Chains A and B, each alone.
Chain A
Amino acid sequence: MTISIQYFARLRDEVGRAGDATAKPDTVHTAGDLWRHLHDSPPPPRLMVAINQRHARLDSPVADGDEVAFFPPVTGG
């Protein structure tokens, strides 16, 4: 089982790819942990996160098999 990660909009440009996939390390418990594990840096300001296509928070727990998305503030409408 892996966690699949997607990046959207400006964040995808900055990361340089559309997504990642990783087995959940024992040190990763939350979406914020996952960001730090993947990018070796703290989450950027105003980062939004969704887990399994629902809005979540950086302190929301993540589990193997989850679909996690990171994105900047939304600008629709």
Chain B
Amino acid sequence: MAVRLFSEPFDPWALVRERERELPLEKLGATSVFVGRMRDFNDDRTVQGLFLEHYPGMTERELERIVLEAEARWPVDACEVAHRVGAVNPSETLVLVAVWSAHRIAARDACAEILERVKHEAPFWKRERLVDGSERWVETNTPGS
């Protein structure tokens, strides 16, 4: 299990490749990967940038708890979760969830569950900067959006 926070841009595919170098891929028939990027629009407004606030200490602990609970629930062999913090520009990666398992359903379901729990339980808060220079806090992550 690996959980990482990045205050600078990171390459999610490089993290996946790096992790795969240490995994017994001949036993892992399924890899499910989710990459979430920053959009340049939200609620019909153009968004220039984002600031991702977090709660140092608790954020890492929550991510670890979410991954451990997924590993207890599904027969998965490895999980990688990475999340940006601080100032983010459009198209940069916000979140990576990657899950390796012998079988596809465990990999797919664990990946989806980890992502949903990260969005609704891990202490991160987004503040958007709009084209007119104003800023607004994102009020909620709605289910499935």
A residues with a Cβ closer than 8 A to B are 6, 8-10, 13, 50, 53-55, 69, 71-77
Contact = CB atoms under 8 A, between A and B. Distances in A.
Contacts of B36: 77
Contacts of A71: 55, 123, 125
Interface of B: 36, 52-55, 57-58, 61-62, 83, 94-95, 115, 118-127, 137-141
B141 A74 contact: yes
Contacts of B119: 74-77
B141 A53 contact: no
B58 A69 contact: yes
Given A8-B125, A55-B121, A75 B57 contact: no
Contact of B58 (A10, A13, A53): A53
